[in-house]
Structure 1
Amino acid sequence: MHTTSPHRRPGHKLSRSQFNRRLHKLQDRLCELLALLSQWAKVENTQFAIDSCPLPVCKNIRISRCQLVQGEAFRGYSASKREYFYGYKVHLITAADGRIVEFDFTPGSWHDQIGFDLLNFELAANSVVYADKAYNHYMQEDLLAQAAGISFEPMRRINSRQGDNDYCTNWLRKQARRHVETDISQLVSHWPRRIHAVTAKGFLLKVVGFVMAHNILFYF
């Protein structure tokens, strides 16, 4: 007599290891779905903002015992929180309506300019991307404008010699990019106190899942 496997009973709760194995098997499908959601957001928006946020893999007191990542490259500093952390940085571009359209990861100590270079900026022509003062790079601004028709608008540093370095322009850019801070706060609110993973790849894959969940919530 045929009996149904206990792992296939309706309502059966997967164990942690079963869930992790299935998540890894679905990696390609998750990325395809995330790309589709991101594309919809790009089509429906013309204004975006770029920023980064810390993604610690453990508490500072546990750094010496951390197995996911090792090395000083992962020891970063969060200026907004005024504290050090150990892990990754998430570099992301969010649309004005709050959806995340592009993101990538770097070790926590890497500068935001490196994260900038990792992003594809696959946005429609005439899109505008706002940023804070960490992203002042005139060559990149010119390249985006000439190659993709994208206007990159970072807040200027005090010593910047650019012609648009005035109080009113910087204030408008600050207001225009403010939504990315809210978007990051909403994304981080989805994260549990501890993301369980035994490999760095598994850890980042779960973060990808949280990004996808963040975008899906906009359709409900």
Structure 2
Amino acid sequence: MRKLNKSEHCYIVDSMPLEVCKLSRSARSKICKEQNYSLPEKGYCASQSSHYYGYKLHAVCSAQGVIESMDISPASVHDINYLKDIKHQLSDCILLGDKGYLSAEYQLNLFEYHNIRLETPMRTNQHNYREQPYVFKKSRKRIETLFSQLCDQFMIRRNYAKSFEGFKNRILSKITAMTVIQYINIFEFNRNINNLKINIA
């Protein structure tokens, strides 16, 4: 990841739901309940306007679509809490997020202590409302495309794990596989980095 993102100065942060079972089965489900620290929870996905039961994948990717860092949290954890981890991993860069990361306090903290410029779209009822530049809107779609590829081509949302360790390792293996293909595309075959459906041999 470091080699692929070596010269990057712009990153995108977002999250996606990871369901472990249907919401109707959550009360009697035993999936991922072997440890208290990793219990799945009920959460809400704004982009899909639906509630679900499980976890949330938080990720930061570069403008070219390579994941720089990631974490898994219970579904009820708000997106903005992931910014506490980001400030220990990034510095001297622009970080693009959606309205879920809108916070003047976090924005100031990231900039003052780590020189991270957090750019999020403003709410229309905010004082001194300004529309986010088009280039930021366009760049932010990169991580949405990445999540779609993880879902469609790597089936990251299809869960067969019964333990949290198995669930966590499965998610990590999917992301690792995608990153390996990106690496091969760039450094071995000089292909488009995000052409993940083509043969790698």
TM-score of the aligned structures, taking structure 1 as reference length:
0.72
Please report how far the alpha carbon of residue 198 of structure 1 lies from its aligned counterpart in structure 2 after TM superposition: 2.7
**Preserved contact between residue 102 and residue 120 of structure 2 (Cα < 8 Å):** yes
**Preserved contact between residue 19 and residue 159 of structure 2 (Cα < 8 Å):** no
Note the alpha carbon deviations across 1:92-126, whole angstroms, 9 max, x for none. 1111111110111111122111233233452342x
Candidates 103, 108, 122, aligned match of 1:142? 108
What count of residue pairs does the alignment treat as equivalent? Answer: 179
| Whole-angstrom CA distance in 1 between matches of 2:61 and 2:156 | 22
| Whole-angstrom CA distance in 2 between matches of 1:97 and 1:115 | 21
The percent identity for this pair of structures is 27
| Whole-angstrom CA distance in 2 between matches of 1:138 and 1:181 | 24
Give the SS at the match of 1:158. Answer: coil
Candidates 124, 129, 133, aligned match of 1:158? 124
Give the SS at the match of 1:91. Answer: strand
Give the partner amino acid of 1:105: I
Q: Please give the root-mean-square deviation of Cα atoms over the aligned residues, in Å.
A: 2.3
1:88 aligns with 2:51: no
More off after superposition, 129-138 vs 139-148: 139-148
Greater helix proportion: 1
Match of 1:128 in 2: 94
**Where does structure 1 lack aligned partners over 5 or more consecutive residues?**
1-36
1:179 aligns with 2:142: yes
| Whole-angstrom CA distance in 1 between matches of 2:65 and 2:71 | 17
Q: Aligned in 2, Cα 1:192/1:54: closer, same or farther, shift over 3 Å?
A: closer
Give the SS at the match of 2:5. Answer: helix
| Whole-angstrom CA distance in 2 between matches of 1:140 and 1:193 | 30
**Where does structure 2 lack aligned partners over 5 or more consecutive residues?**
185-201
Match of 1:11 in 2: none
Give the partner amino acid of 1:148: H
| Whole-angstrom CA distance in 1 between matches of 2:157 and 2:173 | 16
| Whole-angstrom CA distance in 2 between matches of 1:182 and 1:89 | 17
Match of 1:51 in 2: 14
Give the partner amino acid of 2:172: V
Please report how far the alpha carbon of residue 134 of structure 1 lies from its aligned counterpart in structure 2 after TM superposition: 1.2
Note the alpha carbon deviations across 1:27-63, whole angstroms, 9 max, x for none. xxxxxxxxxx2x2233232211111000111123432
| Whole-angstrom CA distance in 2 between matches of 1:192 and 1:148 | 32
Note the alpha carbon deviations across 1:3-24, whole angstroms, 9 max, x for none. xxxxxxxxxxxxxxxxxxxxxx
Please report how far the alpha carbon of residue 205 of structure 1 lies from its aligned counterpart in structure 2 after TM superposition: 1.7
Give the partner amino acid of 1:68: I
| Whole-angstrom CA distance in 1 between matches of 2:83 and 2:31 | 25
Please report how far the alpha carbon of residue 182 of structure 1 lies from its aligned counterpart in structure 2 after TM superposition: 0.5
| Whole-angstrom CA distance in 1 between matches of 2:166 and 2:40 | 19
TM-score of the aligned structures, taking structure 2 as reference length:
0.79
| Rg comparison, structure with higher value | 1
Give the partner amino acid of 1:186: Q
Candidates 18, 22, 29, aligned match of 1:66? 29
Candidates 108, 116, 119, aligned match of 2:83? 116
**Preserved contact between residue 94 and residue 102 of structure 1 (Cα < 8 Å):** yes
Give the SS at the match of 2:4. Answer: helix
